[in-house]
Amino acid sequence: MLLHKTAREVSAYVYEVQKNGLSVGFVPTMGALHHGHISLINRACKENDRVICSIFVNPTQFNNPDDLSKYPRDFYGDFQKLKQTNCSVLFYPNVSEIYPESSEGDIEIGYLNTVLEGKHRPGHFKGVAMVIKRFFEIVKPDRAYFGLKDYQQYLVVNQINSNLGLGVNVIGCQTLREGSGLARSSRNRLLSKEGKEVAKIFFECLVEAREMIFKHSIAEIKQHVSDRFRSSDLCELEYFEITEARTLAILDNIPPETSVVACVAGYVENIRLIDNLILIP
Ligand code: AMP
């Protein structure tokens, strides 16, 4: 596996690969790699001739400086894990490589910026859009792989990819979970053993919502979830919403023939966690 730290090296690598008629898959990450990341890399390796994984803790997508400084980093461990996959290149740029002084301004995101993660983390998706645009322009992959664990991010990436004509085939990959149902996340490393146990509540509530969806009103389901979180001292609910899967429009009732996804965010031991589940495909 090659290690590249500059945009110039990565662009030159991809140019050579694609010139020879081979395809390039891209998996952007913020490191502290876990099985969820590795599942994206393995899928990219199956579907492409060469795979590039990036590790870049993107400062522009953190609205909270404390969250940025606490974000787990483990370059050595990540490098070892990647070497055991078929990943061809690790792209590990520094901040000035991604954001040179001449960087352009904001990218318009619209409605997705006003709900759920967009509403609760002001500026977050502007930062995601900026970094993804820059990465897609540097790497110019044939395909890029994103986890559906960050469902709203997946929708934002699709939107900017098509609005800006970036020409990448954006692929959503299913969420990998622990045996307990807890979605795998780099942030889980920051939880104590007890915290991890308590954090199961996110997935449990999503599954309960799926069981309730045809028998109860949305208001009743939201009340149930809010009661479940209130009964636990160690966790705090930030939002639980039932939404239209394509647009993330927030629903008060279920219109016929609508795909529905439930999205949840909250805190365990001051660590912010998110999850989601398709309630009606
Ligand atoms: P991150 O390093 O958290 O920015 O994640 C990098 C990529 O991995 C994003 O596309 C995430 O959605 C994806 N990802 C994170 N956790 C999981 C998971 N548990 N299962 C599948 N994909 C994931």
At residue 100, the pLDDT reads: 85
* CB of 149 shorter than 6 A to ligand 1: yes
At residue 63, the pLDDT reads: 87
Reply yes or no on whether the pLDDT at 204 is more than 70.
Answer: yes
Ligand 1 pocket test: which of 37, 85, 168, 206 has the largest number of ligand atoms within 8 Å of its C-beta? 37
Cα separation, 41 vs 170, whole angstroms? 14
CA-based nearest residue to 174, from 138, 146, 193:
146
* CB of 36 shorter than 6 A to ligand 1: yes
Q: Using one digit for the tens of pLDDT, what is the confidence trace for 232-263?
A: 889 999 999 999 999 999 999 999 999 999 99
> Given pLDDT bands bounded at 50, 70 and 90, which one contains residue 103?
low
Q: How far is the CA of 64 from the centre of ligand 1 (A)?
A: 20
Cα separation, 36 vs 63, whole angstroms? 24
* CB of 32 shorter than 6 A to ligand 1: no
Write the residue with the smallest CA distance to atom 22 of ligand 1: 147
Ligand 1 pocket test: which of 53, 149, 188 has the largest number of ligand atoms within 8 Å of its C-beta? 149
* CB of 176 shorter than 6 A to ligand 1: yes
* CB of 55 shorter than 6 A to ligand 1: no
Mean pLDDT of the residues in the chain: 96
Ligand 1 pocket test: which of 71, 131, 150 has the largest number of ligand atoms within 8 Å of its C-beta? 150
Cα separation, 172 vs 147, whole angstroms? 6
How much of the chain exceeds pLDDT 70, in percent?
Answer: 99
Half-sphere exposure of 114 (CA within 13 A, CB side): 6
* CB of 37 shorter than 6 A to ligand 1: yes
> Given pLDDT bands bounded at 50, 70 and 90, which one contains residue 101?
confident
The question of whether 37 is a catalytic residue gets the answer yes
Q: Using one digit for the tens of pLDDT, what is the confidence trace for 41-83?
A: 999 999 999 999 999 999 999 988 999 999 999 999 999 999 9
Point out the ligand 1 atom lying closest to the alpha carbon of residue 183: 19
Reply yes or no on whether the pLDDT at 1 is more than 70.
Answer: yes
* Residue/partner pairs of 238-241 with CB below 8 Å, 24 or more apart: 238/120, 238/265, 238/266, 238/267, 238/272, 239/116, 239/120, 239/263, 239/264, 239/265, 239/266, 240/205, 240/209, 240/264, 241/115, 241/116
Exactly one of 4, 34, 35, 37 is catalytic; name it.
37
At residue 149, the pLDDT reads: 98
* CB of 124 shorter than 6 A to ligand 1: no
> Given pLDDT bands bounded at 50, 70 and 90, which one contains residue 124?
very high
